[in-house]
Amino acid sequence: MIQKKICLLGASSVGKTSLVKQFVEGIFSEKYLTTIGVKVDKKSLVVDDEEINFMLWDIEGSDRYNVFEERYLRGAAGYIIVVDQTRASSLIEGLDIHTLAKQVTSCPAVLAINKSDLPSTWHLSAIEQDAYQKLFDLQFTTSAKTGEHVDDMFLALAALLLKDKKNDITAE
């Protein structure tokens, strides 16, 4: 079985823990309990008859005052930058983290624009959409509350990692 470490990164309260909870347990809570340090969860999924075991590293939010710790990315196969569509500053913080992460890893990166069940306070322009498509390997609009696109996002990332693995084999 293939094991892959996936990190969830972003500003605080964007919904990293809630996305993991929705994906792993299928539950959502309105209660906000901030993550201290890191919490690791596991979930295995099957893509194209192959089983892949995700180790989900739910990392504490990093806003400007508490710096993102790159060491959490060690050994990661992919990471998800979570931003909150009700808080524009979370996009700026997410992009800052993405820039720092890119300096220590070249693994695939996903942008999750979360809280899609709430009215959005900011939108990406067509130009920004284009730019982000180049910056990230995958992009999803998610809701940890309704579950919208949550499974889709993790499955797409799993498929991407398996595809990369197959490419590695054919390249050998």
Ligand X SMILES: Nc1nc2c(ncn2[C@@H]2O[C@H](COP(=O)(O)OP(=O)(O)OP(=O)(O)O)[C@@H](O)[C@H]2O)c(=O)[nH]1
In the complex with Mg ion, which residue's Cβ is closer, 35 or 86?
Answer: 35
Place of tokens 């990293």: 16
Binding positions for ligand X, 37-96, rule CB under 6 A = 60-61
Q: Does residue 137 contact residue 110 with C-beta atoms inside 8 Å? A: yes
Judged by CB under 6 A, does residue 34 bind ligand X? yes
State both tokens at 110.
């996903």
Nearer to Mg ion, 14 or 47 (CB): 14
Pairing, β 138-141 against β 109-114: parallel
Any contact of residue 97 with ligand X (CB under 6 A)?
no
Cα end-to-end span (Å), the chain: 20
Q: Tokens in use for 99?
A: 């820039």
Asked if 137 interacts with ligand X (CB under 6 A), we say no
Residue closer to ligand X, measured from CB, 47 or 79: 79
Rounded to a whole number of angstroms, the minimum distance from the CB of residue 15 to Mg ion is 8
Instruction: Tell me the three state secondary structure of residue 5.
Output: strand
Q: Rule CB under 6 A: which residues touch ligand X? A: 10, 12-18, 29-30, 32, 34-35, 60-61, 114-115, 117-118, 143-145
